[in-house]
Amino acid sequence: MKLYTIGFTQTTAESFFGRLLDAGVARVLDVRLQRDGQLAGFAKARDLPFFLRELAGADYHVLDMLAPTAEMLTSYRERATSWDEYAAAYTALLDERRPEASVSKALLDRGALLCSEATAEKCHRRVAAEYFAAKLGGLDIVHL
């Protein structure tokens, strides 16, 4: 089973949707705290289901339980929290929320965790993907 991750910043819509299509992503799983911000561009939640269906043949799902808290995100963005501290706090939040109990392997299989960061290196979507791989097993993580 493959679980993908993808970010939308620093890319074009053509590249973004092309990567999803080329990888065979069946559904995008939105893990953002703020899905309709001014900087979301083509990835605004109100437009994304249409674009995904028409351009990539993919579904759209919001997974609020995988979004960080506003306080965590603000602290990290304002550099009051290091990446390592943020990742540890986010993992603790996932441990508390237990998304593995309600998010099925079927939903994750060929799904792509979506966030804004251009790369997965320092993004909570990578941490969430690794969390699911550890809890559920059998997931091959691919960062698009």
DSSP-derived 3-state class of residue 81: coil
Q: If you search the block for the tokens 């899905």, which residue do you land on?
A: 35
Predicted pLDDT at 40: 85
Identify the DSSP state of 46: T
Rounded Cα gap, residues 47 and 54, in angstroms? 11
pLDDT value at position 36? 87
For residue 34, give the nearest of 61, 6, 60, 73 by alpha carbon: 73
CATH 3.90.190 describes domain 2-143: yes
Are the beta carbons of 111 and 3 closer than 8 angstroms? Answer: yes
Could you list the mean pLDDT of each consecutive 10-residue stretch along the chain, which spans 144 residues?
96 96 98 87 94 97 97 95 97 98 96 96 97 96 98
How many CB atoms are located within 10 Å of the residue 58 CB? 23
What are the structural domain ranges in the chain?
2-143
Q: Is 138 exposed, middle or buried (0-12, 13-18, 19+ CB in 10 A)?
A: exposed
Rounding to the nearest 10 degrees, give the CA dihedral for residues 118, 72, 84, 137: -70
- The token duo for 120 is 């997965």
